[in-house]
Amino acid sequence: MAEVKGKLCDCARCGKTVFLRLTNVESLFGGYDHANFFEDFPEGWAYHSDTGRLCPDCNAVYTKLINDFMPRKE
């Protein structure tokens, strides 16, 4: 049986998931603690402080909604 360590992240709006593999573990404070490092999110995944993590499809909808509501003034 094979095992892959990582984390499964989901879209806060639609629930689509992406698996990010664990790439490195660093020891901190003389080995009393550690920090996990994972792959980067695929292109298009974004984090917004008011909504959370969004997949590319939901992020496109969210970005369009915000840009339609608050168009940039030139």
Q: What percent of the chain has pLDDT over 70?
A: 99
H/E stretch holding 70 reads none
Name the residue with tokens 């298009």.
Answer: 44
Copy the structure tokens of residue 57: 């499809």
To the question of pTM greater than 0.85 for the whole model, the response is: no
Instruction: Say yes or no to pLDDT of 73 above 80.
Output: no
- Would you state the pLDDT for residue 29? 80
Distance of CA 50 to the CA centre of its chain: 14
Residue 72 has pLDDT above 90, yes or no: no
**Using one digit for the tens of pLDDT, what is the confidence trace for 23-50?**
999 988 877 899 999 999 999 999 999 9
